[in-house]
Structures are given as C-alpha cells and as structure tokens.
Amino acid sequence: MKRVLDTDIYALTDAGLSRGRSVIEVADAMLRAGIRVLQYREKERKAGVMLDECLQLRRMTREAGCTFIVNDHVDIALLVDADGVHVGQEDLPVEAVRQLVGPDRIIGLSTHSPEQCRDAIARGADYIGVGPIFATKTKKDVCAPVGLEYLDYVVQNHDIPHVAIGGIKLHNAGEVVRRGARCCALVSEIVGAEDIGDMVARLRRAMAV
Amino acid sequence: MKRVLDTDIYALTDAGLSRGRSVIEVADAMLRAGIRVLQYREKERKAGVMLDECLQLRRMTREAGCTFIVNDHVDIALLVDADGVHVGQEDLPVEAVRQLVGPDRIIGLSTHSPEQCRDAIARGADYIGVGPIFATKTKKDVCAPVGLEYLDYVVQNHDIPHVAIGGIKLHNAGEVVRRGARCCALVSEIVGAEDIGDMVARLRRAMAV
C-alpha cells in the first residue's frame, strides 16, 4: 500500500530562504531532525541542476525512510524514482500525471476551495494541499488566504489525506492542528531557521495538542 | 528509421511575438504554408495550458505530416506523443531524456561551440541546434552570437543533422544556407509576419541557393 502522509510535518525546500545554505545541507538537517515527508520545490532552477539535486535527495531520503515528493516536474520525479509528485491547479492535470507515473506513485494536488477538494478526489489525487491557510510570501503565484474555514470543510467532510499549507509558523501551528489538520506543511519557518533540528523539535511540541 | 530534419525551415512557436494571434492560429498558417518541422516553445505558460496546446498541435501536425518537437518538457512530449524533445545545455541531459523517451523519439540539443557539438554526438543527440548565429532578442537566456564560424565547423566536420538558429531573417537566410546550413530555424520572422504563408514562400526562395 502507498504510504501517503504521516500526521506530522511536511517539509519543503526553498533555496532562496535557506540563509545561504544549500538545498542538500538543509535537507540533511531536516532528515536528522526526523522529517518524514520532504518535497523538492525550487522554482528558479534549471532542470539540469534540479535533476542533480533530486538524485542526491532521493538517496538521502531513501536512507532516512523519508517520503520524497517532487514539485511539478513529472519527468524529474520519474528519473530519480521519487515517491510522488505534487502539482498545482494550473499544472499538468492529475489524470495526465497518473498516466506518466502509474498507480503506485503518490500524486498531491494543491486545492483552495471545497469545489477543488471534491474535484481532486474525483480525479484520483492521493492527497491534497489545503490552503493557503494564512497569508504567505513564499509562493509568488499563490491565491488569497482561504483561512481555517476551508480546512474545517475538509476535516469534517472528507477522508482524503491532506496537508495544511500557507503561512504556518511556530506560533500558529498548534491552532492549525487543533482545527483537525492531519499534517502541516512549512517552508520558511524550517528552511530559514538557524537551528533546523531545534525548530522541528519546537514545532512538534507545538503540534502535540 | 527516424526522420530527423528536412533541409528546410524549422519553425518555432512564440505567442509573445505573434501579433496577438493564438499559437494554434499561427501553427495553422505555418502548416498551410507547408512547414515540415515545428517546435512548441512557450516559456511563460503554465503546464496545463501547454498540454492543451500541444495536444491540438499534435493532431494538426500529424494530419499535415509535420514533425512535432516539444521544447524542454519531456513529460508533455510523452503525454502528447510528440516526435521529439529539444533541450538546452542547462536542461535535462540527453541521457536522462533518452531514458524517458526511448530510442525512437528525436532528441535535439542546443550547442554553441565545437566542444558542445562533439559532446552532443557522444551523448546521442539526434540533431543539434547551432547558434546563435546572429544576435537575437527572442530568447532571454541565450549566449552571445557565435557567428557563422561555428556553423562552418559543424558543416565541415560532422554529419549529425543540424539546424542553424538565432537571428536568422529573410535578409540573411540565404547567406546561412550558402555557408552549408542544412536547416534554418526562425521564430520572430515567421510568427511575427502579417502573412505567414507569404513569408514562408519568400524565405524558401531566399534559401533556394
């Protein structure tokens, strides 16, 4: 059976927010902190560099028993044998991604409304992103925050695995979990932390509600 | 056997230079003008739109007997059953692309020096782009023009199919062909022409040297 998402932290890379550290260095700290789901999301890279980094991350995550997801680039996900791919509403449709990756790889789809949630389930997504919960500057093309209401809808109505995303920080992660979020995605709060291991430990305490 | 490149015009799409016409409308005019190789190259599109356009172009080019190449996006090339993929020096390496597309699809690689030409042959590219021959504003991340000297090197030393590219216009296409170019790629001169059929006819006359 596909292991989709743990009830925990979903970490994403972002070289631009990593205080000058490399993606590999940051991922290494995440894995040492016990992160169990990692998504490679680097929008400004050329594909050749992405492939090199993903090959390294695949080795590291496999060794650590961490699920490895590649954002958008289905070709790279296939080349490195990633566990899955994450796409947005304007990326390749889930059915097209499924055609390429087969039944066993995970497909995650970002959703921003109840309608998109139902559509994601109908299309066969394995999990959904739910957000942006709060305002965020991490993603350039993101829509306005949908707040906790959309999360409530998902929690109360659907069994599909989900990850809450968008503006989640140490100070509000507990609130998101109390609203029923199964898994929380964080970007800047983790990759931008001076001590990533310490930040992950503090996040886990905040989320242990 | 793979049909790689005709000795003719290699047309590329570019919605931004198409005088407000859609990619489909421009491609239709190209195919009516008898274009036999068409590359889909749209850098500013989301993948969902690219897939839709490429599905249409695949139907149109198949009907017209035109070779259809997709720039960069190996996943989209596979999904639409394109004849090939074209990559640049910083995109996925030829070996990785080959792993995904198999032996029968065409792989084109942009090259800018004798060293890159020899490397492309060693890696198993089916054809190479040779350029930029002249200065061009069409591509944002292009290197400085390499002039006709690099074209001379390729013509005189290698049998690999090639396409000269970069700043080729009606007024200089004849010169490029006289230097031995097997095939010329043009972007703005064709997609930006008011009458695409007429421009292709004039280019063919200029290239019949």
CATH code of the domain in which B89 resides: 3.20.20.70
The closest of A96, A57, A60 to A75, measured between CA atoms, is A96
DSSP B43: T
Q: Is A95 exposed, middle or buried (0-12, 13-18, 19+ CB in 10 A)?
A: exposed
Is B29 in contact with B197 (CB distance < 8 Å)?
yes
Candidate from A73, A76, A90 with C-beta closest to B46: A90
Is residue B1 in some structural domain?
Answer: no
Whole-number pLDDT of residue A140:
62
Is A191 in contact with A13 (CB distance < 8 Å)?
yes
| Mean pLDDT, chain B, integer | 95
Is residue B177 in some structural domain?
Answer: yes
Contacts of B89 in chain A (CB under 8 A): 48
What ipTM goes with this model? 0.93
Whole-number pLDDT of residue B144:
85
Is residue B162 in some structural domain?
Answer: yes
Residue A93 to residue B51, Cβ atoms within 8 A: yes
Q: Is A141 exposed, middle or buried (0-12, 13-18, 19+ CB in 10 A)?
A: exposed
Q: What is the DSSP string of A141-189?
A: S-----HHHHHHHHHHH--S-EEE-SS--TTTHHHHHHTT-S-EEESHH
Is residue A13 in some structural domain?
Answer: yes
Is residue B152 in some structural domain?
Answer: yes
Identified catalytic residue from A18, A36, A41, A105: A41
Q: What dihedral angle (degrees, nearest 10) is formed by the CA atoms of A6, A7, A8, A10?
A: 50
Candidate from A72, A75, A96 with C-beta closest to B92: A75
The strand pairing partners of A37, in sequence order, are: A10, A67
Contacts of B133 (CB under 8 A, 6+ apart): B145, B146, B147, B148, B151, B164, B165, B166, B167, B168, B176
Average pLDDT of the segment spanning B163-170: 97
> In 3-state terms, what secondary structure has residue A13?
coil
CA nearest B79 in A: which residue? A96
Under the banding of pLDDT at 50, 70 and 90, the label for residue A7 is: confident
Q: What is the CA radius of gyration of chain A?
A: 16
Q: Tell me: the pLDDT tens digits for A128-174?
A: 999 999 988 766 666 788 889 999 999 999 999 999 999 999 999 99
Whole-number pLDDT of residue B6:
72
Q: Tell me: the pLDDT tens digits for A34-63?
A: 999 999 999 999 999 999 999 999 999 999
**Strand stretches in chain B, DSSP E:** 9-12, 37-40, 67-71, 84-87, 106-111, 127-130, 162-164, 184-186
Is residue B2 in some structural domain?
Answer: no
Cis peptide before B132 (omega within 30 of 0): yes
Under the banding of pLDDT at 50, 70 and 90, the label for residue A194 is: very high
pLDDT at residue B130 is higher than 70:
yes
CA nearest B72 in A: which residue? A47
Containing A108, the helix (H) or strand (E) segment is strand A106-111
Residue A43 among known ligand-binding residues: yes
Q: Which domain holds residue A107?
A: 9-207
Report strand pairing: A184-186 vs B9-12. Answer: unpaired
How many domains does the structure of chain B reveal? 1
Whole-number pLDDT of residue B142:
64
**Can you tell me which residue has the tokens 């066969």?**
A124
CA nearest A80 in B: which residue? B96
Is residue A66 in some structural domain?
Answer: yes
Distances, alpha carbon A54 to alpha carbons A31, A156, A191, B182, in Å: 15, 36, 17, 38
Residue B39 among known ligand-binding residues: yes
Tokens for B67?
A: 């070779």
pLDDT at residue A1 is higher than 60:
no
Whole-number pLDDT of residue A136:
82
Is A90 in contact with B46 (CB distance < 8 Å)?
yes
Q: Tell me: the pLDDT tens digits for B99-122?
A: 999 999 999 999 999 999 999 999
**Can you tell me which residue has the tokens 């566990």?**
A83
Closest-CA distance, A142 to chain B, in angstroms, reads 13
Is residue B82 in some structural domain?
Answer: yes
Contacts of B93 in chain A (CB under 8 A): 48, 51
